Amino acid sequence: MKILVTGAAGFIGMHTAQALLSQGHEVVGLDNLNDYYDVSLKRARLAELASHSGFEFHELGIEHGAELQALFAQAKPQRVVHLAAQAGVRYSLSKPQAYADSNLQGFVNMLEACRHHAVEHLVYASSSSVYGGNTELPFSEGQSVDQPISLYAATKKANELMAHSYSHLFGLPCTGVRLFTVYGPWGRPDMAPYKFAQAICAGQSIEVYNQGESLRDFTYVDDAVESIVRLLAKLPTAGAGPGLGSSSAPYRVFNVGNGQPVVLHEFISALEAALGRSAQKIMRPAQPGDMSATACDSSALDAWIGFRPATPLAVGVKKFASWFLNHHGLG
């Protein structure tokens, strides 16, 4: 079938597009190629996708509603994987308007396009950040997500609410994925794995926030993508789903995480081992908006699609480090 993947030049977007292309689908990629981080990395990801005959790319921002409607009218995607968004918790402290434009207005535009062009299923990225002030671990879909501690998290919670309203009002099948700290080859330079690897290889110190005691559920990218692809293939049906109470909309939300959280110190140790280099650490206090702990219960996901992320940290970090060293000519 023909599938639209937004954020196709992004980290998870590129991997998702590759997986769908390998299954024989046509993929229409959309991305605005903004300069939130190095655009050359985004173009390198697109070059990987361009080798597939079933891939076409459109440079477009989802905040432009009329242009987005025109693309849907032209491309006629049957299903949509919506991964385009303004990412990052800390960036939302200084650039809140970017989150309103992309994550709120852009998401409404995406819902409208799906509604008016008979899209069979919309799968969109939410985030583990929606759990905010929750302290009961592991996080499960039935818990309240009404205490976001960053604007980024608030926009992702808003996306879930918007999707549910369209699902209820217009029968649009929607599935949200609450992604937990995804890492791996072609990862984002603003995230800890890439930042740490870059500094370690350059002999520079790394800043370790919350004294390295933050608990994170690191999820290998191939596991996240496998979850997304399987979810895309299974349309949600009307009836109560995880965390939905009595809702009868064709709507679901699932955690997508490894379920084996580690403290940041452990991740750094695994990265040092994989790179064959030691880190010089500068300990810092926790940053505003950062969650002290994330841990994922993926049992609902497993029950729905027969799969849950399980790549061991050491295995995933080794694969990331191998890609990083090769990509930067350090191998």
Burial of 244 (0-12, 13-18, 19+ CB in 10 A): middle
Counting Cα atoms < 13 Å in the Cβ hemisphere of 8 gives 28
Q: Which amino acid is at 115?
A: R
* DSSP SS3 for 114: helix
Q: Are 264 and 191 in contact (CB under 8 A)?
A: no
Q: Residue 309: name the closest of 152, 124, 178, 176 by CA.
A: 178
Q: Which of 91, 152, 194, 251 is catalytic?
A: 152
* b/e per residue 213-234 (b: at least 16 CB within 10 A): ebbbbbbbbbbbbbbbbebbee
Q: Residue 217: name the closest of 298, 158, 143, 115 by CA.
A: 298
Separation CA 301–CA 140 (nearest Å) = 10
**36 phi, psi to nearest 5 deg:** -55, -40
Q: Are 83 and 12 in contact (CB under 8 A)?
A: yes
Burial of 277 (0-12, 13-18, 19+ CB in 10 A): middle
Q: Residue 53: name the closest of 15, 82, 25 by CA.
A: 25
Rg (CA), the chain: 19
Count the helix, strand and coil residues of the chain and give each as a percent rounded to the nearest 5.
45, 20, 40
152 catalytic, yes or no? yes
Q: Which residues are catalytic?
A: 152
